[in-house]
Structures are given as C-alpha cells and as structure tokens.
Amino acid sequence: MKLYRFLSAPDDNTFCHKVTAALNKGWHLFGSPTYAYDKKTKTMRCGQAVVKDVDGQEYGPDTKLSDW
C-alpha cells in the first residue's frame, strides 16, 4: 500500500522534529514544503507532504497513518 500524510506545525523546531521523525520511520518527502500565515493564531505555519510504501499490507479507512 502507498500511504500519504500531510504534516504541519508552527514555524519552529516542532515542525522540523515532526518531519525528521517521519523520515526516520521510512517516510519520504513529497513535493515542496508550504508556509502560510494562520490568522486565528497570528503565527506562521509550515507544512510538508510525505509518502511511504508498505509491502504486504492493504489500506483501509481505519489505517492509522501515524503508526507507520
């Protein structure tokens, strides 16, 4: 199965740690990172899509992406 996640966090080390943790679990960057202003919190936020191939497993709506 091919998995997709979109990671987001405030523009601080939280974002970098979240992406680094995903990369160390075998996820791969997909596309360019994003950067946007959050009007509600009045802060900048970062985002990055990541993908992962998992052999021998089938995807279902109950698949918990963060477990992979």
Q: What is the pLDDT of residues 6-58, one digit of tens each?
A: 999 999 999 999 999 999 999 999 999 999 999 999 999 999 999 999 999 88
**What is the pLDDT at residue 12?**
92
Residue 68 lies in a domain: no
Domain with 44 in it: 2-55
Residue 35 lies in a domain: yes
pTM of the model: 0.84
Residue 66 lies in a domain: no
Residue 36 lies in a domain: yes
**Residue 10: closest CA among 29, 30, 36:** 36
**What is the pLDDT at residue 57?**
86
Domains of the chain: total: 1
Angle 57-1-53 from CA coordinates, rounded to 5°: 110
